[in-house]
Structure formats: structure tokens, C-alpha cells
């Protein structure tokens, strides 16, 4: 069973026969394909009772996919929160291994905030609700669940939206479980997505709840600006990424200039300014300076005095040659898995 015995004895996760899933997806028709995940294709399906589902199908002969499959099923089956996608069942046979999730009709957050037309459907009030919902989901993973989970790949495409546009964090294939007294860990295999990784994780393989906080901060700034962090922007005749652009604008007292123009004037300036400052606190270079998610939620929802952010942690893709200076903490060439 290639290490899947523990899944097979998990009492919290129902099993569905493969032929039932095949019927629900019209035999995995290309017309029902929703996309390609980290370990294989994802299909929309409809069960006999009319319930819509999303089916993750493990690609055959995928070694990394198998590890992600086991991690996801063993972790998420134990998690229950309104801002986490719900795993309904799994299907295991010799040649087929699948995870069955609740179906999210509005797809993922990135399909809205980075789309010029669809982004206009998200006014500030809805964006703020999405930001707080994601924060509550991350807090549950870090503090309130039976386990302590570090997601390690929090990003816009891993936040799904239900029919009411409520956010649900998904894709736990690279997540790691911590003991209650454990605060950080090292890995020699850095996996995740460029643009959302904290510097200490990308360069030293060091991850903790504070590396998730960094990813959340990037995501928050993307939701406010409607722009991707990994795209380059021009600021005073130099090229920057989104974090640098927001930092420079905030220092110049022009933070509101980064707000997505599709929201027009639908936002209270004091509230969105507070959220921008929270985002900058989350992406500070030093992990110890970043707030815990409980503090993030408090600052988002309350008029309170906040610390002044320090220099953000910046990772840029740059190839160094013999004539270049050595890379600093803020400037490093990294090669990593980018599933987008």
C-alpha cells in the first residue's frame, strides 16, 4: 500500500468507491477538469444525490505526489473550520488514489483579485471579510486545532471561495505538523511558491508559524492592491516587487496609492491604511518581529496602536556572476518548486 495503511484505518474519513467517482465526473471527462494541482488533476463531479464535489486525482507514478497525498489526507481529515476547505472522503485502490472535497463554485481567490474585470466584483467590504477569514483559518491551524499546522504554501491560488465568497484555505500537501512545544523546524527540501516565501525559509530551510505569517502578509497586500508580488513595479526609476513598492509608498506617506483602482472610493481610508500597516508588519525581515496570527486579527478588527514596521524581507530572483557582489539577506538566487 506504499505507506497508506494509516489512511485506510482512519475512522474520520469515509471511503467512496472509484466507480462512483468515475460516474460523478463522467469518467474524468476533460470538460469537468477544474485545473492541475500539486499532485495531479482536479475534476468537478456530481454524486447521485446531486451533491457537487471536487476530486483530486493523484497522477500515477508520482513520488512527490504520493507524499503530498498522504500528508493532506492525514492532516486535513482532522481539521474542521469554516475557513478551511472540507475533505469529504477519499478513494483508494491499487491504481487510483483520490481525495474528495466540497466543491467551491467561485474557484480560487487569484481568479478574482488579479483579473481586471472580476476584481471589480470585490468591493472593500468583501475583501476585508476575505482577509479576516483567511487570518482566522491560519490562526486555527497555528493555535486552535488539535494539531499545530504550518501550511507552508499559503497563496492566492490556495484560497478557494464558496458560493457566498467566503474564503477557505486549501492544499495541505506540503503542510507540516508541529508539537505544542515546538516553535520551528529545518528542512533541506524547500517547497512552496516564489513570492510568498519568507527569507529564512527560502534561504535556510527554516520554517515556523512566522513563515506562514509572512505569506499571509504578502497575500493581504495582494488583496488590497490587486497585484502579484512576483511582478516587477517601477518606483522612482527603479524596479521593485510589490512588497518593496508598498514599503516605499508607506514610508513616503503615500500608502493609499497602492490600493486597487477597481475599488474606486468604496473603502474607509483609515481601515485600509491599518490593513496595509498590518501587512507590512507581517512581512518584516526578522521572523521574531512579525506578529502572531492572534495579534494580526486583533489589529485588523480594532482601532489600536500598532508598532511601526521594520524593513521587509525581500527575496529577488537574480543570477549572480563573477562581477556581482555576494548576495545579501535581501538579494539571493533561489530555485524552487512553483506549482502555479
Task: Return the active site residues.
Answer: 153
Question: Across the strands, what pairs with 54?
Answer: 44, 101
Q: Which residues contact 126 (CB under 8 A, 6 or more apart)?
A: 165
Alpha carbon distance 304, 272 (integer Å): 14
> CA-to-CA distance for 183 and 142, rounded, in angstroms?
10
Amino acid at each position: 500500500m506504499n505507506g497508506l495503511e494509516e489512511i485506510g484505518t482512519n475512522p474520520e474519513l469515509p471511503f467512496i468507491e472509484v466507480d462512483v467517482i468515475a460516474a460523478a465526473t463522467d469518467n474524468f471527462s476533460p470538460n469537468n477538469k477544474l485545473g492541475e494541482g500539486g499532485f495531479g488533476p482536479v475534476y468537478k463531479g456530481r454524486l447521485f444525490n446531486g451533491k457537487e464535489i471536487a476530486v483530486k486525482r493523484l497522477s500515477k507514478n508520482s513520488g512527490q505526489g504520493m507524499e503530498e497525498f498522504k500528508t493532506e489526507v492525514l492532516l486535513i481529515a482532522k481539521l474542521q473550520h469554516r475557513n478551511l476547505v472540507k475533505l469529504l472522503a477519499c478513494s483508494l485502490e491499487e491504481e487510483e488514489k483520490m481525495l474528495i472535497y466540497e466543491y467551491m463554485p467561485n474557484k480560487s481567490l487569484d481568479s478574482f483579485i488579479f483579473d481586471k474585470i472580476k476584481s471589480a466584483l470585490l468591493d472593500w467590504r468583501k475583501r476585508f471579510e476575505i482577509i479576516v477569514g483567511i487570518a482566522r483559518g491560519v490562526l486555527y491551524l497555528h493555535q486552535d486545532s488539535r494539531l499545530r499546522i504550518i501550511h507552508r504554501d499559503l497563496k492566492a491560488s490556495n484560497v478557494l471561495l464558496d458560493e457566498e465568497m467566503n474564503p477557505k484555505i486549501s492544499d495541505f500537501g506540503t503542510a507540516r505538523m508541529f508539537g505544542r512545544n515546538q516553535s520551528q523546524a529545518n528542512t533541506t527540501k524547500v517547497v512552496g511558491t516564489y513570492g510568498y516565501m519568507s527569507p529564512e525559509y527560502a534561504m535556510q530551510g527554516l520554517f515556523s508559524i512566522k513563515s506562514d505569517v509572512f505569506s499571509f502578509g504578502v497575500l493581504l497586500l495582494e488583496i488590497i492592491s490587486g497585484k502579484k508580488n512576483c511582478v516587477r513595479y517601477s518606483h522612482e526609476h527603479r524596479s521593485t516587487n510589490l512588497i518593496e513598492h508598498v514599503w516605499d509608498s508607506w514610508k513616503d506617506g503615500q500608502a493609499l496609492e497602492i490600493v486597487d483602482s477597481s475599488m474606486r472610493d468604496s473603502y474607509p481610508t483609515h481601515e485600509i491604511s491599518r490593513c496595509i500597516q498590518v501587512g507590512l508588519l507581517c512581512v518584516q525581515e526578522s521572523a521574531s518581529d512579525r506578529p502572531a496570527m492572534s495579534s494580526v486579527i486583533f489589529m485588523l478588527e480594532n482601532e489600536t496602536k500598532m508598532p511601526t514596521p521594520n524593513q521587509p524581507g525581500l527575496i529577488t530572483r537574480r543570477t549572480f556572476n563573477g562581477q556581482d557582489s555576494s548576495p545579501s539577506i535581501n538579494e539571493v538566487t533561489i530555485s524552487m518548486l512553483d506549482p502555479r
